[in-house]
A and B are shown apart, each in its own frame.
Chain A
């Protein structure tokens, strides 16, 4: 049904899982036991958005759910919240991207920036409304800014190294 052979899709899915395991391991390395002032960008989030907007078949929603939920558990986040918000926003952004004609990268970047800001703000809001002890908003805002500014690099790396290219959406909003 898809233009891409299914072996290739499965290879990319496995690559995605491998990347996510590698990223979580680099996060878990016990190098930084001091509180950090500058958080790293959330690379997994960047890859999910970048690939979903190019080849959604490589990162289907169930796979994203699995990977993000396991990261929620491993990275000591409240389970389900961050991944739920991310997927909600991701679906929304995919729908917006599908319904506009503006396929330029700048427009995509703007939308993704909006998405990252929304994710961290909603996450913070829900956490503080449900009275979970949260870190100051500052750290998540700094991380959001890093996320937004590193997004083009992730896109470039995906394009040239992983060969995940151009948006694949049809006018009707579905992927073929």
Chain B
């Protein structure tokens, strides 16, 4: 490189080299800063995403729908097969619906007997999934609701069926949901009916493993996994999925939420200061059965949401 200066045009070479070095130092410095003071840099990241994604939504949305259209077209070929399967499932669902209705009535009666006032804070905000993490290394989605809508870090995000993840990173009009499948996701769970405590550790696979079960003999495949609410991060009793063995005889969760199609998520408001007792967990579990609301709206109470 010392003979650079032989060429006439290279007066700028040292400047360029200096700029490169400064930029490199800046980049590595930023990484070190992120490692030391992660929250501040992550706040900045939320700000970047918050300005970038909404301003390109006009492009992102049509692109997404075009690709989805193509995907839908592919699935037409399997229509007959799907139809049969859906009919079969519908039959099963009907019987479940009957059971659910009966339970709901019974529950309402019992709540009435107890003179229980439903906590007004146990409501939800629904958001549309506008983007995913964009890399195969992280599992997260971006919602179009943010601190403007009162979203806070740590709240639970669910689809119509079960827990999807929790909020991590809130911008003014966007918020990121770390999915249960992400490497960084570790959720304290309870396995029903045995009531064993365990931890659901995301490992970038579709079915996250369930680790640290107190007594493995007491659980069996098919058991329901719900959040335990320990650590005060998530409300207790949110449905996660069912327990299953993988080919290596490791216990994993088969997630209830439909990860193939995350389009709308509801974020549960949970100010988390008071401990949610048994009644609270009962009520939150009920909320799982509500359908996905398509508009950005806040239902006033849980009862209202589940009355469909």
- Residues on A lying within 8 angstroms of B by beta carbon are 1, 21, 24-36, 39-40, 61-62, 65, 69-70, 73-81, 83-84, 87-88, 91, 95, 130, 132-136, 139-140, 143, 170, 172-174, 176
Q: Is the CB of A172 within 8 A of B6?
A: yes
Within the complex, the shortest CB–CB distance from B152 to chain A, in Å, comes to: 20
B49 A73 Cβ-Cβ under 8 A: yes
Q: A35 with B30: in contact, given A30-B64, A65-B23 (CB under 8 Å)?
A: no
B 113-133 binary contact with A (CB < 8 Å = 1; else 0): 000000000000000011111
Complex: how many Å from CA A170 to CA B56? Answer: 41
Q: Given A84-B31, A133-B183, A75 and B134 touching (CB < 8 A)?
A: yes
**Which B positions have Cβ atoms within 8 angstroms of A?**
1, 3-4, 6-7, 9-10, 13, 16, 19-20, 23-24, 26-31, 34-35, 41, 44-45, 48-49, 52-53, 56, 59-60, 63-64, 67-68, 71, 129-142, 176, 179, 181, 183-184, 204-206, 259-263
Taking a contact as CB atoms under 8 Å apart, the answer to whether A76 and B133 are in contact is yes
- B31, A81: Cβ atoms under 8 Å? yes
Contact in complex: B29, A80 (CB < 8 Å):
yes
Q: Is there contact, CB below 8 Å, between B7 and A143?
A: no
Also in contact, A80 and B260, with CB within 8 A (given A31-B67, A35-B181, A139-B136): no
Main secondary structure of the interface of A (DSSP, over half): loop
Bound-complex Cα distance A112 to B167 (A) = 39
| A29 contacts across to B, CB distance below 8 A | 60, 63-64, 67, 131-132
B-side contacts of A139, CB under 8 Å: 136-137, 204
CB of A28 within 8 A of CB of B27, answer: no
* 4 A-B pairs closest in CB distance: A80-B30, A39-B136, A84-B27, A27-B134
